[in-house]
Structure 1
Amino acid sequence: MSNLSTSSRITSAHFPLDTACAIAQASGGEDPQALFQLLDHSAHAVLQHQLLTINLYQAPLEQLTRLYSSNTQAYPIGGSKNKKGVPWGAHVLQQGRVYIGEGPEALRWAFDDHVLIQQLGLRSVINVPVRFRQQCLGTVNFLMPYDSIGDAQREMAILCALLALPGLLQAHQKQA
C-alpha cells in the first residue's frame, strides 16, 4: 500500500450531478445496502479510502452493529463492538463529535482491533456519528492508507454520513 501525500489527493469534496441524483434515488429506496454501497463508491474519488463500515448504534447496550462493510472478509456484516466505558464511544456516540485519527497511535487509542487495521495497511480514520432528533443512530467510518487527513476528506466523510441517514433510520425502524 502506498502512502499518499495530502497534495496528491483531491482537495474539493463534491459529487457530480449524476452521482447526486443516484444517491437521492437510493435514499428513497427499500434497500439501505444499495445506498451504502453507492456512498462507498462515490466517496472514493475524494477519500481514497480502503475500508468503509457503517454501524447501527444501540444506545441501551452501548453497542455498534455493522450494517455495511466494504471488506466483509475482515469486517463482516453483523459483527458488533461494545463501546461501554470507552473514551472513543463517549467522544463519538455520546457527544456526537467526529473523530479524526491520524497515524498508528490514534488508531491504537480508538480501536481494540488496531492491529488488524494496521495489517490491512490502514493508517487513518474518520468516524462520523449520524444523529437524528438528538440521538446517535450510528456511525460512518472511513479508513485510509495515508497518515494525514485534509479538509476535503473531512467534508466528504461528513457529507456521506448525512446522506446515510435514511438507511440508518430504516435499520432502526426494523429493530423497533
Structure 2
Amino acid sequence: MMPFLQRALVNSLRKVSADLFFEVLNNELAKGYSIRLFTLTEIDHLGGQAKRIYSSAPKQYPIGGYKQIEINDWSKQVLEQGEAFIANTEKALSEVFFDHQLISSMGLGAVINWPVIVEGKVIGTVNILSSENSYLDCDLEQFEALYPWFVIAFSLPVLQESSL
C-alpha cells in the first residue's frame, strides 16, 4: 500500500496538465537563462530511441514520435555518463545534432542538454536553446535546483495513465 503523502502527491499530479507543468518549468528556467526553444525528451535505452514529450515550438519540433539516438560524443556524455552538455556555436551543434540546419534556421546556436537520472539511468533530457554564445560560463545552479521538478515532469504522463 502506498504511503499517504505519496498517494496524495500522485493524486494531485494526476489533475495537473502536463503541458502547463512543462510551461512553468520553461518560465522558471527563463528567469536565469536565455531560452528561445525549450524541449523535454524521453529516452528509451532498450530501443535506442528518444521521444519529445514537450516543445515550445511544436511546428518545428513536434511532440511525439520516436527518433533513433545517434551514437556520438553527445550521446556518450549525456546519455551514458549522465553529464550536462553545453555548446555555444552553430559549428559545435553541427558536430553532434543531425538537425543542426533546422536549429540554425531558427537562429539558434547554443544549447544546454540536462540529463534527468532516476535509479542511475538517464530517463530524459531537458533542453534549452538560444542564440550563439548564450551559455558561455553559465552557472547550472538553476537546473540543479529544479531537478526534482524535472523528475516529476517525466513522471507525469505515467502518473496520469496509471491507476495507483
TM-score under structure 1 length normalisation? 0.75
Task: Please give the alpha-carbon distance, in whole angstroms, between the structure 2 residues aligned to 1:172 and 1:91.
Answer: 27
Assess, with a 3 A threshold, how the Cα gap between structure 1 residues 36 and 151 changes in structure 2: closer, same or farther. farther
Which position in structure 2 is the counterpart of 1:29? 13
Shift of residue 84 of structure 1? 4.4
CA contact (8 A) 2:34 2:134 kept: no
Following TM superposition, the consecutive aligned residue runs of length 4 or more in structure 1 with deviations greater than 6 angstroms are none
Assess, with a 3 A threshold, how the Cα gap between structure 1 residues 84 and 54 changes in structure 2: closer, same or farther. same
Matched, 1:124 2:102: no
Which of 89, 98, 102 is matched with 1:112 structurally?
A: 98
Q: Percent identity between the aligned chains?
A: 29
Shift of residue 172 of structure 1? 5.2
Task: Please give the alpha-carbon distance, in whole angstroms, between the structure 2 residues aligned to 1:160 and 1:116.
Answer: 28
Partner amino acid, structure 2, of 1:29:
L
CA contact (8 A) 1:102 1:147 kept: yes
Name stretches of at least 5 consecutive residues in structure 1 with no aligned partner: 1-24
Deviations 1:118-175 (A, max 9, x none): 1100110000000011111100000011314145553324444542111212345659
Shift of residue 36 of structure 1? 0.9
Shift of residue 79 of structure 1? 3.7
Name stretches of at least 5 consecutive residues in structure 2 with no aligned partner: 1-8
Question: Which has the higher mean CA deviation after the structures are superposed, 161-170 or 112-121?
Answer: 161-170
Matched, 1:94 2:72: no
Partner amino acid, structure 2, of 1:75:
Y
Deviations 1:77-135 (A, max 9, x none): 01433114233112111110100011012101120000110110011000000001111
Assess, with a 3 A threshold, how the Cα gap between structure 1 residues 118 and 159 changes in structure 2: closer, same or farther. farther
CA contact (8 A) 1:130 1:162 kept: no
Which position in structure 2 is the counterpart of 1:14? none
Task: Count matched residues.
Answer: 149
Matched, 1:103 2:89: yes
CA contact (8 A) 1:104 1:118 kept: yes
Assess, with a 3 A threshold, how the Cα gap between structure 1 residues 114 and 159 changes in structure 2: closer, same or farther. farther
Which position in structure 2 is the counterpart of 1:80? 66
Which of 38, 54, 71 is matched with 2:40 structurally?
A: 54
Task: Please give the alpha-carbon distance, in whole angstroms, between the structure 1 residues aligned to 2:146 and 2:103.
Answer: 21
Assess, with a 3 A threshold, how the Cα gap between structure 1 residues 160 and 150 changes in structure 2: closer, same or farther. farther
Deviations 1:38-63 (A, max 9, x none): 11122213212100000111110121
Q: Superposition RMSD on alpha carbons, in Å?
A: 2.2
Task: Please give the alpha-carbon distance, in whole angstroms, between the structure 2 residues aligned to 1:41 and 1:114.
Answer: 25
